[in-house]
Amino acid sequence: MFLQIVFLLSFLLSTSHATVQDFCVADLKSADGPAGYPCVAPAKVTSDDFVFAGLSEAANVTNIINAAVSPAFVGQFPGVNGLDLSAARLDLGPAGVIPLHTHPGANELLIVTQGHILAGFVSSSNVVYQKLLKRGELMVFPQGLLHFQIASHKRKALAFAVFSSANPGLQILDFALFASNFSTPLIAQTTFLDPDLVKKLKSVLGGSG
Amino acid sequence: MFLQIVFLLSFLLSTSHATVQDFCVADLKSADGPAGYPCVAPAKVTSDDFVFAGLSEAANVTNIINAAVSPAFVGQFPGVNGLDLSAARLDLGPAGVIPLHTHPGANELLIVTQGHILAGFVSSSNVVYQKLLKRGELMVFPQGLLHFQIASHKRKALAFAVFSSANPGLQILDFALFASNFSTPLIAQTTFLDPDLVKKLKSVLGGSG
Amino acid sequence: MFLQIVFLLSFLLSTSHATVQDFCVADLKSADGPAGYPCVAPAKVTSDDFVFAGLSEAANVTNIINAAVSPAFVGQFPGVNGLDLSAARLDLGPAGVIPLHTHPGANELLIVTQGHILAGFVSSSNVVYQKLLKRGELMVFPQGLLHFQIASHKRKALAFAVFSSANPGLQILDFALFASNFSTPLIAQTTFLDPDLVKKLKSVLGGSG
Amino acid sequence: MFLQIVFLLSFLLSTSHATVQDFCVADLKSADGPAGYPCVAPAKVTSDDFVFAGLSEAANVTNIINAAVSPAFVGQFPGVNGLDLSAARLDLGPAGVIPLHTHPGANELLIVTQGHILAGFVSSSNVVYQKLLKRGELMVFPQGLLHFQIASHKRKALAFAVFSSANPGLQILDFALFASNFSTPLIAQTTFLDPDLVKKLKSVLGGSG
Amino acid sequence: MFLQIVFLLSFLLSTSHATVQDFCVADLKSADGPAGYPCVAPAKVTSDDFVFAGLSEAANVTNIINAAVSPAFVGQFPGVNGLDLSAARLDLGPAGVIPLHTHPGANELLIVTQGHILAGFVSSSNVVYQKLLKRGELMVFPQGLLHFQIASHKRKALAFAVFSSANPGLQILDFALFASNFSTPLIAQTTFLDPDLVKKLKSVLGGSG
Amino acid sequence: MFLQIVFLLSFLLSTSHATVQDFCVADLKSADGPAGYPCVAPAKVTSDDFVFAGLSEAANVTNIINAAVSPAFVGQFPGVNGLDLSAARLDLGPAGVIPLHTHPGANELLIVTQGHILAGFVSSSNVVYQKLLKRGELMVFPQGLLHFQIASHKRKALAFAVFSSANPGLQILDFALFASNFSTPLIAQTTFLDPDLVKKLKSVLGGSG
C-alpha cells in the first residue's frame, strides 16, 4: 500500500520537477536581464551554490581610507540571483572611512559585528540621520541616498551590509566625480566646485575629461 | 480616405508588432530566469498555447492517500508564463487526503466543484484555520503556510486550486522529511522525532540519508 | 526541560505575534490604498474570513444575455486582500454570452466545470485567439485585452474565472460605450460608429450624454 | 598614499563591474521574457543607447483620423528596457482624433505641449472622466481603461504620452473589432452590433472572419 | 428584454462598484504608506483629479542657476497615486543648469520640448553617458544615479521629466552636502574636500553642522 | 547671487518636502496593510528610528534547544517598514539547534559571525542542500522552504539572518503541529504520524485539539 504512494507521488514530483523554481542560481555566462540572470539547471546545482566563503577573511585596509568593501553581489555569489538579497563585508581600520556613496538599486541594512561605527545618511530633505553604532546594532539606509560609515579612532571595526537586491550597485561620490570621464567644466557647472579643485582631485583619483 | 487609415495604422501596428508583449508563452527549451521563461516568438503562438486540457480527466486515486494532485504550472501549461497564475486539479476519493504541504512561491485559492472537503492551514502564530467546504465554495491559503485538504468519508470530491504564480512550488511535508536525502540524525535533531520512527517512515516513503 | 522550550518559544512567538502578516483580511470600512485595504486585526480573524460561499449557487440567467457573472473580488471576499488572487463564477444558459470585456487590472485563468464554452481574446496585434473549451479545460486571458465567453447552443455551462489581483476590475465594452455618460458625438468620433446607432443603443442600455 | 586608494578602489570597482546593473539596454535580437529583454553587455553600451531621436519630427497626419501616434517603446528605444517607462508622440491636425483605445500593460500620463486636446477615459463603473487640456497640462489614464484624445477644431496639437512600462501595448478598439480576424457572428453576439454594420466596417478597416 | 440586461448588469456593477479600484486618487490628509496614500472615495473623484495644470506656466529662472524645477509628484498631483508615474517641468534660461542630483526612488525619462539641453549621468562604473539633446529628443536616467541638465548658452530650453514612481524623491548633491546639517568634519572625511571649502560653501548655501 | 539659489531651492524643497518618501518608518499603532504600516510623519522621525539595538546582547540559551532566535522584524524595528529587509539574531550554545522552520514571506541570507553552524534546506524536489558554515560565511535559504541551523558540538555560535521582507513570518514545524490547536486526528491523517505520538508531543509542547 505504501508503495502506491511512492509511485503516485514520485510521478507527481517528477512531472513538476522540470519546472520547480524554488531557486535560480545565476548562470553568469549568459546575459542578464531586468530581473537577473538565467538559472543554472537545477540538476547541476549543489549545496556550494548557496554558500559564499569570500567574505570570511578580513580585507587589507592598508590604504588611504583605511578601509575596504568586499561585495557578495550576484556577480560574486550567484546563489542570490532572484532572491532580492545580497551582502558586503566592511573592514575598517581605526578611523577607517567608507566614503560617501549610494546604492542606486537597493535599500541597505548594516550589522556591526566588531568595534564602533559612526554611520549616517542624508535624506532628500537634506536632513542627516546619523548614529554611533556599537557591536550588534543595526541601521538602515534607504535606497539611493548618500551615506557613509566611519570607524572610531581607537580601534578597527567590522560590519556586514545586506541589500534588498541581488545587484544593488555602488556609486561612490568621489569616484563618480573625480575618477570618471566627467568633464571638469561640467563638474564645475553642476556642483559649484572650483575647476582647479576638480582638476587637482582628478589628478589624485585618476579621473579624465 | 478610409484606405489612408488602413495604411497609417497598419504602419503603426507593424512597427509596434515586433515588441508587443501582451503575453509571453514559455519557451521551455530555454533556461528560465527569476521572472520566468523566455517567450516563444508571437508569430509562432496559436490559440492552443493559451488552453490546457491536461486537467480535464479525473486522475487515478487508487493509492494510499486515495487522492491525486495534477499540476498545470508553467512546466505543463506554458501559456501561464509571466501571468502570475497557475492551477492544479485535486481528485479525492472518499476520505482521500492531500497531505500537509506548502507552496513556497504562491498564495492559493481553492474552488470545490464536487463533494465536501475539509481544508485548513496553520498560521505563523500556530493557529489552525479550517472549514468544511461544500461545492462552489472558495478558500484561500496564504503563501508558504502548511495546509491540507481531506474529502468527506462518504463520497469523492473534486477541486481546482489556483495560484498567484506560474510556478508556485510544492513542498509535501512527509516527502521533504521521509522521501528525501535528509539525514536521519538531522531530522531527529531538528524535529524532536525519534530516529527509529524517522527510519521507519523513510523505509516506507523511500528516503535516504 | 521541555517546559523551557515552551517558555522560550512562546516568548519568541508572542513578541513576533503582533506583527506577523501571514495574511491581511481586508477591513472594508477603511479606505483602501494602492496595495489594497488595511488589515483586520489578526485576533479578530476567524476561519470564515478565508472562506467564501457566495459563488456556491447558480445565478439567475433569465435575462437578455442568458448569463450572469458573480464576483468574488476583495469587496465580496475580504480574505483575498493582498493575496493577488480573486475569482468569479460564470453561469451561462444555452447560448449564453458574456459580452466583450476587459479586466484592466489582472490576468484571468478560466476553468470550465460544466458544458462547452467558446472563449477568445483579441491581442494588441489584432489577432483573435479562440477555442471551444470542454469541461475541465483551462484558458488564460492576458491583462487588459478584450475577451468573451459563449456557451454552446445545446446546453448550459458553468465556469470559474480566477484573477491575478484581488481587485481585477471589469470593463464591459457595451456598457462603457452605451450605459455610461459618454457623449454621443465623442463616441461617434472615437469609434466611427454612426451617432444614430449610438443613440439607439444608449436608449436600450441606459446611457446618457 | 592617494595611489593606494586608486588601487584599492579600482580593484573593488573592477570586481563589481562585471555585474553592476544600473541599466539593461535591450538586446532586441534575443527573445524577451516576462520582465523584458536580455541586456546588451555594458561594455558595448554608449550614450546613444539612452537617447531616442525618433520622436523629434512631426508625423504625417494627412489621413482619415488627421492624427498619428509614434511609439518609443522598448522595440524602438531599447534603452527603456527594465526601466518601467516608455513614451509616444501624438500629432493631431485640427480636429484630429486618437480613436478609443487601451494600453493593456501600463498607466499613461499625457503632457500637452501644443494646442488644445479634449481627452477622457471610461472607468470600470462606466463613468467618463474628460477634460479639455491646454498646453503644459497633464492628464493620467489608468491601466487598461478605454480612452481617447481629440484636438480642437481650430488648430493642430502635439502631446507626449508616457507609460509605466517599457512595453505598454496598444489595443485600438476599432482595429480589435474590425481590422482583425474576429468572426462577424461572434462580434455581433458579444457586442450587440448588427452583423451588417460589422461587415461594413470590416470592409473599410480590413478585417476578416 | 433589454431591460433585463440593464437590471442584471446594473446589479452586477453596483455590487462590484464598491471595490473597483481602477484608480486611487491620493487622500493627502491621511498618512501615506509604503505603496502610497489611501484613496479618496471614488464617488468624490472628478475629472479634475486626473488633470494637473500646475506645470503649464514657465517658472521664474532669474536665479543663480538660471533654471527651475517644478514637480508634479503625488504631493502636488494626487491623481498619480498608485500609478507609478509622475512628472516635473524643467525651465532653463540660456546656460541654465540643473545641478547634479539623483532620484532615489525612480527612473527618469526626459523629453526636450524647446531649445537644446546637454544631459548626462554617471554610472556605478564611473562612466559618464552624455548627449546634447534637441527638441523632441528623449533621454533616460536610471534610478539613483547622479545626473545633470544644462541649457545651451544661446537660448532658453524647456523639458518635461517623467518618473517611474509617484514619489521619485530628489537629492541635489550640493544641497545634501552644503545646505544640510551634515557636519563639516564628516563631510571632509567622507568626500576628501577641504573643511575650509566645505565651510565656505555652507555659508553660501545655508548648511549647518 | 548665491542668496537667489537659496531662495529658489528652498522653495523647491519646501514644496516637495511634504510628500518626499525616502523612507516610511512604521506607525505601529495604525493597522497595517498588504504593503506594510502607514508612515510616521517625517517631521517626527529621528536617527533612532533607523537604528535597532535589540540584537546587541546575547540571548539566554539555557533551554531545551540550547538556542534562541531574536527578531528585528518591523514589529520590533519600525524603521525597516517598506524597505524589504529585516533581520534576526541566532544565538546557539554548543550543539544548539534552530528547529526545522520556514519563513512564508521572505528569502533568507545567513551570516555566521562566530563558531561553526551546520545549515541546510529541503527543496520542493526533496533534495537537501546543506553545509557546515564557518565564521564569515554566508548561506541563502529560498522563501518558504524548510530549513535548520545547528551549532557544532564543541562551541557556541552566533549568526545574523537577514530577510527580503520587513515581515518574513516564521513557521516552526514542531510548533505548527504540536503547539497549535491542530486536531490530533487531522495531524495523523495529513502527516502519517501515529496519533499517540502526536498526543505525546502535544503534551510536551502545549498543543491542543
List pLDDT tens digits, range C58-105: 999 999 899 999 999 999 999 999 999 999 999 999 999 999 999 999
Which chains have 3 or more CB–CB distances shorter than 8 Å to chain C?
A: B, D, E, F
Report the C-alpha gap between F87 and F55 in whole angstroms. Answer: 9
Query: What is the CA angle A96-A101-A104, rounded to 5?
Result: 145
Distance from CA of B107 to the nearest CA of F (A): 10
Cβ distance C181 to C155 under 8 Å?
no
Query: What's the pLDDT band for B21 if we cut at 50, 70, 90?
Result: confident
Element (H, E) at D118: strand D117-122
Chain centre to alpha carbon of residue E14: 37
Q: Which amino acid is at F88?
A: A
Residue D61 has pLDDT above 60, yes or no: yes
The pLDDT of residue C19 is 45
**Chain B residues contacting D via beta carbons under 8 Å:** 1-2, 4-10, 12-13, 15-16, 18-22, 24, 27, 30, 33-41, 81-82
Provide the terminal-to-terminal Cα distance of chain B, rounded to the nearest Å: 77
Residue C109 has pLDDT above 50, yes or no: yes
Asked whether residue B6 carries a pLDDT value surpassing 90, the answer given is: no
Q: How far is B181 from chain C (nearest CA, A)?
A: 28
pLDDT in tens, C37-47: 999 999 999 99
Q: Do E138 and D87 touch (CB under 8 A)?
A: yes
- pLDDT for F144 equals 97
Q: Are A100 and E191 in contact (CB under 8 A)?
A: yes
Burial of B201 (0-12, 13-18, 19+ CB in 10 A): buried
Give dist(CA C199, CA C154) in Å, integer: 34
C-alpha distances in Å from residue A19, one per residue of B169, B179, D162, D189, F126: 9, 19, 36, 40, 14
For D37, phi then psi, to 5°, come to: -90, 155
The full 3-state SS of C91-153, as one line of letters, equals EECCCCEEEEEECCCCCEEEEEEECCEEEEEECCCCCEEEEEECCCCEEEECCCCCEEEEECC
Give every residue of chain F whose pLDDT is below 50, as ranges.
1-8, 10-19
| Pairing mode, strands A108-114 and D51-52 | unpaired
Q: What is the pLDDT of residue E16?
A: 42
pLDDT class for B209, splitting at 50, 70, 90? confident
Q: How far apart are CA A154 and CA A115, in angstroms?
A: 9
Predicted TM-score of the model (pTM): 0.95
pLDDT of residue E205: 92
Residue (of B51, B49, B68, B72) closest to B59 by Cα position: B68
Interatomic CA distance for residues A175 and A100, integer angstroms: 10
Considering only CB atoms, E22 lies closest to which of C71, C73, C104, namely C104
- Non-local CB neighbours of B77 within 8 Å, separated by 6+ positions: B52, B54, B86, B87, C138
Burial class (CB in 10 A: 0-12, 13-18, 19+), B132: middle
pLDDT, tens only, F51-69: 999 999 999 999 989 999 9
- Taking alpha carbons only, the member of C14, A158, E21 closest to residue F179 is C14
Non-local (6+) Cβ contacts of A191 within 8 A are A177, E99, E100, E173, E174
C-alpha span between C41 and C60 (Å, rounded)? 36
C116 annotated as belonging to a binding site for a ligand: no
* Phi, psi of C150, deg, nearest 5: -135, 130
Q: Report the amino acid identity of residue F96.
A: G
CA distance F71 to F80: 12
Look at residues E178, B85, D105, B201 and name the one whose alpha carbon lies nearest to residue C86.
B85
Confidence of residue B45 (pLDDT cuts 50, 70, 90): very high
pLDDT in tens, C62-72: 998 999 999 99
Contact between residue D138 and residue E77 where contact means Cβ atoms under 8 Å apart: yes
Cα gap E95→E61, rounded to integer Å: 11
- Give the three-state DSSP class for C194: coil
Interchain pair C64, E8: CB under 8 A? yes
Q: Secondary structure of D13-78 in the HEC alphabet?
A: HHHHHCCCCCCCCECCCCCCECCECCECCHHHCCHHHHEECCCCCCCCCCCCCCEEEEEECCCCCH
Which pLDDT score, from 0 to 100, does residue D113 have? 98
Q: Which residues of B touch C120 (CB under 8 A)?
A: 47
3-class state of residue E191 by DSSP: helix
Q: For chain B, how big is the Rg over CA atoms in Å?
A: 22
- Candidates E103, E104, E148; nearest CB to A190: E148
DSSP state of E168: -
Residue scoring higher pLDDT (C84 or C209): C84
Q: Report which of E31, E26, E167 is spatially closest to residue E105, judged by C-alpha positions.
A: E167
Query: How much is the CA Rg of chain D, to the nearest whole Å?
Result: 22
Which of F13, F121, F160 comes nearest A125 by C-beta? F13
Place of cell 512527509: B174
Q: What residues of chain A score a pLDDT lower than 50? A: 1-8, 10-19
What is the rounded CA–CA span in Å between residue F38 and residue F82? 9
CB contact under 8 A, E19 and C175: no
DSSP chain A: -HHHHHHHHHHHHHHHHTT--S---B-TTSPPBTTBPPBPPGGG--GGGGEE-TTSSPPP--STTSEEEEEESTTT-GGGTTTT-EEEEEEE-TT-EEEEEE-TT--EEEEEEES-EEEEEE-TTS-EEEEEEPTT-EEEE-TT--EEEEE-SSS-EEEEEEESSS----EEHHHHHHSS---HHHHHHHH---HHHHHHHHHHHT---
Q: How far is E32 from chain C (nearest CA, A)?
A: 9
Average pLDDT, chain B: 92
End-to-end CA distance of chain E: 77
CA distance, residue A126 to nearest chain E CA (Å): 5
Predicted confidence (pLDDT) per residue in B67-107, tens digit: 999 999 999 999 999 999 999 999 999 999 999 999 999 99
User: Which chains border D (3 or more CB–CB pairs < 8 Å)?
Assistant: A, B, C, E
Q: How far apart are CA E184 and CA D24, in angstroms?
A: 38
Which three cell numbers mark D40?
546588451
Question: A101 among the known binding-site residues?
Answer: yes
What proportion of chain B, given as a percentage, has pLDDT over 90? 88
Instruction: Give the torsion through C-alpha atoms of E148, E151, E157, E160, to 10 deg.
Output: -10
For A161, counting Cβ atoms within 10 Å of its Cβ (0-12 exposed, 13-18 middle, 19+ buried), the class is: buried
State how far the Cα of A191 lies from the Cα of A178, in Å rounded to an integer: 12
Q: Which of D87, D125, D160 sits opposite E20 (nearest CB)?
A: D125
pLDDT at E209: 86
Q: Is A153 annotated as a binding residue?
A: no
pLDDT tens per residue, chain E (209 residues)?
Answer: 344 444 445 444 444 444 457 999 999 999 999 999 999 999 999 999 999 999 999 999 999 899 999 999 999 999 999 999 999 999 999 999 999 999 999 999 999 999 999 999 999 999 999 999 999 999 999 999 999 999 998 999 999 999 999 999 999 999 999 999 999 999 999 999 999 999 999 999 999 98
DSSP E strands in E42-116: the ranges are: 51-52, 67-72, 86-92, 97-102, 108-114
> Sign (positive/negative) of CA torsion F26, A168, E84, D106?
negative
Q: CB of E104 within 8 A of CB of E139?
A: no
Taking Cα atoms as reference points, which of C144, C116, C147, C111 lies closest to residue C129? C147
Of A172, A171, A134, A131, which is closest to residue A154 (Cα–Cα)?
A134
Encode pLDDT of D109-164 as tens digits.
999 999 999 999 999 999 999 999 999 999 999 999 999 999 998 999 999 999 99
Q: Give the ipTM of the model, two decimals please.
A: 0.92
Cβ neighbours of B43 (radius 10 Å): 8
- Counted residue by residue, chain D has a size of 209
D189/D172 Cα distance (integer angstroms): 20
Q: How far, in Å, CA of C92 to CA of E8, rounded?
A: 13
Helix (H) or strand (E) holding D7, with range, is helix D2-17
Q: Please indicate whether, in this complex, the C-beta atoms of C35 and F32 are within 8 angstroms of each other.
A: no
Q: What is the mean pLDDT of chain D?
A: 92
Q: Is D199:D152 a contact under the CB 8 Å cutoff? A: no
| Identity at D192, one-letter amino acid code | F
d(CA B192, CA F204): 11
d(CA E42, CA E16): 12
What interhelical angle do A195-205 and A184-191 show, nearest 10? 120
